[in-house]
Structure 1
Amino acid sequence: MSSQRAKDAVLIAGAYAVDLVLTDLRGPVSAGTEVWADGLDMVPGGAFTLAMGLHRLGRQTVWAADFGTDVFSREVLAAARQEGMDETGFRHHPRPVRNVTVALSDAKDRAMIAHEDPIAARPLAELIDAFRPSVVMLPFLQFGPDTTDALEMAAQHGTRVFMDCQDYPGHLGMDDVRTALGQVDVFAPNESEALRVTGAGTVEEALALLCELVPTVVIKRGPAGAMAATNGLRAAQVSPTVPVVDTTGAGDCFNVGFVHRWIDGSPLNDCLAAGVACGAAAVTGPGSSNALHAPELTTWLTRLPH
């Protein structure tokens, strides 16, 4: 894909994962015990969810990801091809590139164990310069000199930046974190991440602190929905009550819905509504398997509490 073709695209820079999702646990999980799970699914996850979700909603995407010779790489590649996703950003390596997450999931929460084979990702600044997308989505909190350079590159090309947190280490007491957040357009941690990053005692205080650095801040609150603020305007959206199968991937699906509307310049309330709808739909199936297509999003939006 040339930069000309990619100018209206969303660039997703992040590794794939395969989520092994164990559900319907027969008891609590603790060290030294064995717990049976009645449900087992293997679904693609990680940054695949962002690229696949936006693709289902009709957005042009460039997903920069690495794949190897292992069964997990083959599983995700097959899923991406079945979805009809663009492969221009893919790199293939003559060795295993495994990225696996085991999720122990119940109706309330999940525990996760992950493994990732080390591989040097393509530099973010290089990707932005090559594809020149309208938006770049970063799946986790990134900071440091390389990130600063990449986000400066994004600004030069008029590329807007959406950054998630994903519980990666970093807090506002670190200069590099404050610098990076000051360069992004949207920062979207979940509630616990927002409290940890800011050191705030309440989610409202965390929102206020983050808004001092970031033009638009979104805080995902699980079953409670989400809240956000931009340019002094605050908004909140309650989530509908749905049967919960697995919460893995729900935050990424929220990001997809939010960005889908944000790209078009929709009001903050509409962006939040789309995010909450996509996140709520996601928890009704394992992993991101229930990510919405555009007609389904229209239907889900009618289910949101007002």
Structure 2
Amino acid sequence: MGISEVRCDVLVAGAYFADLIFRDLPRTVAAGRETFAGGFEMLPGGAFNPAMALHRLGDDVVWATDFGDDAFSRHVLAGARAAGLDESGFRHHPGPLRSVTVVLSDADDRAMVSFQDPVTPRPVEELVRVHRPNILVLPELRYGPGVVETLRAVRDAGTLIFMDCQDVPVTLETATVREVLAHVDVFAPNIDEALSLTGVATADEAATLLGELVGTVVIKRGEQGAFALRAGARFTVPAVPVRVVDTTGSGDCFNAGFVHGVLAEWDLPRCLAAAVACGSAAATAPGSGGALDAGELPAWLAMVGPVSST
């Protein structure tokens, strides 16, 4: 099979991170004070999470990312191989390429501090030309010179674009952000990101503003579940009640559940329910360790509360 004939379900284009997760914190971490965590894990993270979660759900995934020869790269690469991920999108560099996040996690939320060695990623339009995905997943909001042209080329190739936000410090008034979002098919910020991006006070206002730019807006609301807006129709799904261990990988697994539903040609309410099921399950284990597989998804979907629409 020639390169031009390759087609995968999903291309995830994004950096790896090694997540150092300090959890079960007895008190809020503050400057000048030492706090001992009740648990600790070092786990693969970053774009590994949605790629692995989609793979577990049975979708054909290529993860495009860069690795160095440092300990963090080796750790995540070993995790990707153990998970059985396709390596055709991996690029290996001599020397260190460190991407690491320290996560301070409790049952309610988490704080993160990250570091990343600079690297120029492979151009997205080239990746799409090689792998010809049905859906491109971008784990963070991309903006700036050339991004609009790239996204236009991706859509012209027949690929749907799913974009997360990931606390990127921009607003709708930042140059190119509105134009970028106008070339995105599904945009999925969490509630804090949506409010910060739009500068409004409520989730409904944020969704309305974003819905003027993006075909489908999905807003994650943590323990309150999520809602989606498409063509003026709104759907709300409550979260599945779980004992929260760590929320680090929940948003990524939420995204995977939604994308899985799109690939299965489910309607928007069922895609949203799948997203909530996958995100809720992820919170029951550190990192993305609670990601569902295809056999587990139906039982979790059955636990999702009724979808309401307005």
Q: TM-score range by the shorter chain?
A: over 0.9
Match of 1:252 in 2: 252
Other-structure match for 1:18: 18
Q: Is the 8 A contact 1:124 1:147 kept in 2?
A: no
The Cα shift of 1:10 comes to: 0.6
Q: Does 1:271 align with 2:275?
A: no
Partner of 2:39: 39
State the alpha-carbon separation in 2 of the partners of residues 243 and 4 from structure 1: 46
Instruction: Work out whether residues 256 and 275 of structure 1, in 8 Å CA contact, stay in contact via their aligned partners in 2.
Output: yes
Q: Secondary structure at the match of 1:101?
A: strand
Deviation track 1:124-165 (CA, whole Å, cap 9, x = no partner) reads: 122122222111000001112321121111122111100000
Asked if the contact 1:41/1:286 (under 8 Å) is kept, the reply is yes
Structure 1 unaligned spans of 5+: none
Larger displacement relative to structure 2 (260-269 or 58-67): 260-269
Give the match for residue 305 of structure 1: 305
Partners of 2:128 and 2:287 lie apart in 1 by 29
Runs in 1 of length 4+ with deviation above 3 angstroms? 1-6
Q: Matched residues in 1 for 2:105 and 2:132: separation?
A: 38
Identity of aligned residues (%): 54
**Residues 8 and 62, structure 2, Cα contact 8 Å, conserved in 1:** no
Q: How does 1:282-293 map to 2 (within 5 A)?
A: 282-293=282-293
Question: 1:98: how far off?
Answer: 1.0
- Structure 1 counterpart of 2:176: 176
Q: Which shows bigger deviation, 87-96 or 4-13?
A: 4-13
- Aligned residue for 1:275, secondary structure, equals helix
Task: Name the CA shift for 1:101/1:138 in 2 (closer, same or farther; >3 Å).
Answer: same
What is aligned with 1:227? Answer: 227
Q: Which of 77-86 and 47-56 deviates more?
A: 77-86
Residue deviations 1:206-260 (CA, integer Å, cap 9, x gap):
0011000100000000000000011222101000110000010110110000010
Q: CA deviation at 1:3?
A: 4.3
Retained in 2: the 8 A contact 1:11–1:63?
A: yes
Distance 1:25 1:174 in 2: 36
Residues in 2 aligned to 1:12 and 1:167: alpha-carbon distance in whole angstroms: 18
Q: TM-score, normalised by structure 2?
A: 0.96
1 CA distance for matches of 2:251 and 2:24?
Answer: 21
Instruction: Judge conservation of contact 1:3–1:132 (CA < 8 Å) in 2.
Output: no
Q: State the distance in 2 between where 1:19 and 1:151 align.
A: 29
Q: Which residue of 2 aligns with 1:7?
A: 7
- Aligned partner of 1:78 in structure 2 is 78
Structure 1 residue matching 2:275: 3-state secondary structure: helix
Deviates more, 1:4-13 or 1:207-216: 4-13
Kindly provide the amino acid, as one letter, of the partner of residue 226 in structure 1: A
Between stretches 137-146 and 158-167, larger displacement belongs to: 137-146
State the shift of 1:9 in Å: 2.2
- Residues 96-136 of structure 1 show CA distances to partners (whole Å, capped at 9, x for unaligned) of 11111111111011111111111111111221222221110
**Structure 2 residue runs without a partner (length 5+):** none
Question: 2: CA distance between counterparts of 1:260 and 1:3?
Answer: 24
Give the count of matched residue pairs. 306
Please report the TM-score for the alignment, with normalisation by the length of structure 1. Answer: 0.97
What displacement does 1:82 show?
Answer: 1.1
8 Å CA contact 1:56–1:292 kept in 2: the answer is yes
Report if aligned partners of 2:10, 2:135 keep a CA contact under 8 Å in 1.
yes
| In 2: Cα distance, 1:2 partner to 1:86 partner | 17
**What corresponds to 2:54 in structure 1?**
54
Q: Which moved more, 1:84-93 or 1:125-134?
A: 125-134
1:156 match: 156
Aligned partners of 1:279, 1:177: CA distance in 2, in Å? 27
Report SS of the residue matched to 1:295.
coil
- Superposed, 1:85-234 pairs within 5 Å as 85-234=85-234
